[in-house]
Amino acid sequence: MRQTEPVEDRIRRLEAWDERQYMLNENYEVYEKQGEPVGAAALHYHNFYEIIYVMEGEFASLAEDKIHPLHRGDFLLLNRNVMHKYQPAEKKQDVSRRIILWVTDGMLERLGEGDTDLSACFHGESARVCHFPVYYEEMLRGFLLKLAMSRGPEGEPPGTKAAMDRGYLILFFTYLNMLCRGGEYFSTEELAGNPLVEQVSAYIDGHMEEAISLGQLAEQVHMSKYYFLRKFKEMTGVTVHAFLMDKRLIRACQYLREGRSITQVWQSCGFANYSSFLRNFRAAYGVAPGKYLEFYPEGAAPRPPVAFFRPLW
């Protein structure tokens, strides 16, 4: 009698130290991670949505300037182009086990077939934590685990797994949006702010068109320049310069999608000149600004090893 392979052995897994922040599939990806997620210890961002579901243990994420603590059964919903990272919490996450779902806006639009906005649950906030009644949690968990399977039922023809996944995604996001609509399941646990990141981020957002110096940022948080540099890197995993540059680039992409001219974009985002804008934009996305919308249409997944997902070192 043939032995059946345990379901757990067919779950896609990514090692906790793996730093990959781009999808291998151009539409969506689902996998499991276990243990302290040291591979996500530096701020990063990407142009697809992310959901983290905590199956066991605890987890915490710094999204923009807020720390979101997560417990077993919690769902963290991360919007696109949000700077975020794993936030250490005194070894409490060593036994953490979680499912991560990445999905593009384009995929959700196709699944909704124009009748339903399946991305609505992400709108309005950079990140939010949800905790649902047990029945709904278990149902959503089941859909995620089925999506995380590395292959479909044995003996089924090619294409069966993709068809089943499409159905699971529709069900998952239909129920998720229904549950999020009223807001009663959003976590009421008080979020911990990160004053340093909050002040720096707010100052950059308010002075995006200007040349911003290290001294100006250090002055905002009442620190010496060298202490500020060290403290910021310690808290975020990235340098101040990289943080500033990526905030400029995220805003530039937003303006390009709004139809602004390239000259308006680089001037509005604080670049000294077009050459500086072009050099940094190409380093991040692999294409010139004029080709951005062609290579990164709305909802498209990034093409590795080019960015949206590049770590902010």
Say if CB 307 and CB 280 are below 8 A apart.
no
Hunting for tokens 């905030």 — which residue is that? 247
pLDDT tens, 121-130?
999 888 999 9
Mean pLDDT value across residues 164-168: 94
Which distant-in-sequence residues (6+ apart) come within 8 Å of 311 by Cβ? Answer: 19, 21, 42, 43, 44, 238
CATH code linked to domain 7-180: 2.60.120.280
Q: What is the pLDDT of residue 306?
A: 40
pLDDT tens, 199-232?
998 999 999 999 999 999 999 999 999 999 999 8
* Nearest-angstrom CA–CA distance, 260 and 22: 27
Give domain 194-295's CATH number out of 1.10.10.60, 1.10.1740.10, 3.40.50.2300, 3.20.20.30.
Answer: 1.10.10.60
Name the DSSP letter for residue 22: S
Per-residue pLDDT band at 89 (split at 50, 70, 90) = low
What are the φ/ψ torsions at residue 56 (nearest 5 degrees)?
-145, 150
* Nearest-angstrom CA–CA distance, 275 and 107: 35
pLDDT tens, 278-307?
999 988 888 899 988 887 765 444 444 344
- The burial class, CB within 10 Å (0-12 / 13-18 / 19+), for 190 is exposed
Domain boundaries, the chain: 7-180, 194-295
Mean pLDDT of the chain: 85
Per-residue pLDDT band at 17 (split at 50, 70, 90) = confident
pLDDT tens, 173-203?
999 999 999 888 998 776 677 788 889 989 9
Which distant-in-sequence residues (6+ apart) come within 8 Å of 52 by Cβ? Answer: 59, 61, 70, 75, 76, 78, 98, 99, 100, 101
pLDDT tens, 56-86?
998 888 888 888 889 999 999 999 988 888 8
Whether the predicted pLDDT of 111 surpasses 60: yes
pLDDT tens, 236-276?
878 899 889 989 998 998 899 889 999 999 999 999 999 99
Whether the predicted pLDDT of 138 surpasses 60: yes
Q: What is the pLDDT of residue 190?
A: 63
Query: Rounded to two decimals, what is the model's pTM?
Result: 0.79
Whether the predicted pLDDT of 4 surpasses 80: no
Q: What is the pLDDT of residue 9?
A: 58
